[in-house]
Structure 1
Amino acid sequence: MGTTPAPTPPRSIDALWAAITRAPASPERRLQRHRPALALAQSRGAEEAGEILFRAMADDGEQPIIGDEDLGVREGIDVRPDSAGVVGPGRGMSVAPRTPRNLHINHRPASLDGTGTKPVWRIERERIDDPLAYRQTSTKHGQIEPVTAVALSKYRCDLAATRDDWTLHAR
């Protein structure tokens, strides 16, 4: 039996790279390789593309309830007004970006494998505009906060004004 000679080492960096990558993939080959992921993202729609925000809030049967632990903020926890009662950017109403699975298990109803009792509502990110802004704080958390320093009462009114933009996602 004969032995196979060892391959000749590449003579340049380009040759080494080509040997490692086995030549660059054509655009069609790259598309084939990523097609399953693209199909999954498309099937999940805007929810997975980061265009949807989620929050657990009690409702009146048709819309979220306006209140500190629902469509609102808790003073001293979600926001910390100064001595004049003013809040600014940097803190706000918590939401989960992209998927309701980013909500804490205590904030998801059983239909979303959680232990929460409140339904989950969704809003399109583009519906959050001046005087409010969305800021993502981590991969699983974001907040809707005031664009500029405003009275806490004004900020709460601005959040309440988004009530018609929220749609029920899951009970």
Structure 2
Amino acid sequence: MIRRIFVLFFLLAMVNCKDKEYLRIEVEKESGSMISMRNFSRSSYKESGELEWKLKGAESYIFPKENKTIVYGFEFKQLDKGNVTSAMTGERGEINHSTKTVVLNGKVRLKTNDGKYIESESLTYNLDEKTLSSEEDVLVYSDGTTIRGKGLRADKSLNKFTIIQPKAVTIGGSNPLKDKP
């Protein structure tokens, strides 16, 4: 009798179980990855428990052997005391964990909380040195002045930057190249 009740209970439990719906990437943009996922999100916290940065992506491909991660729909925000200090976006981002660099491609945009921004088709961010570089055409907006050119070297806050081959400058506001008091 107990065996029949157990079998009946087991059958009812199996009938009521639903399959979980997983988001699987059917056509992968990157081949050879060990892990691929949609709606990727990763956060980092300081020892104090304060949120330091947040990374989101529409699709993510992880390559453990190459020690790299590729993110499509790349959105990266740095925070300080709960406030966003900079936001960086691009169509595709490749994070090399060995060299600690992030290479962004496709409609790259970096905006700081004080209103400065960079636009380019390609941008490299060195995590150790906290520097930005590009060999592509760039647009830099700072304090009312817009500079267009090819090639860029800058710090992550855009307080110090060099356009390798400037092409056009539109001045408005104060001089972004002057020394800050």
TM-score under structure 1 normalisation? 0.23
Which of the pair has more CA radius of gyration?
1
Structure showing greater relative contact order (alpha-carbon pairs closer than 8 Å, 6 or more residues apart): 1
Higher fraction of helix: 1
TM-score under structure 2 normalisation? 0.22
Higher fraction of strand: 2
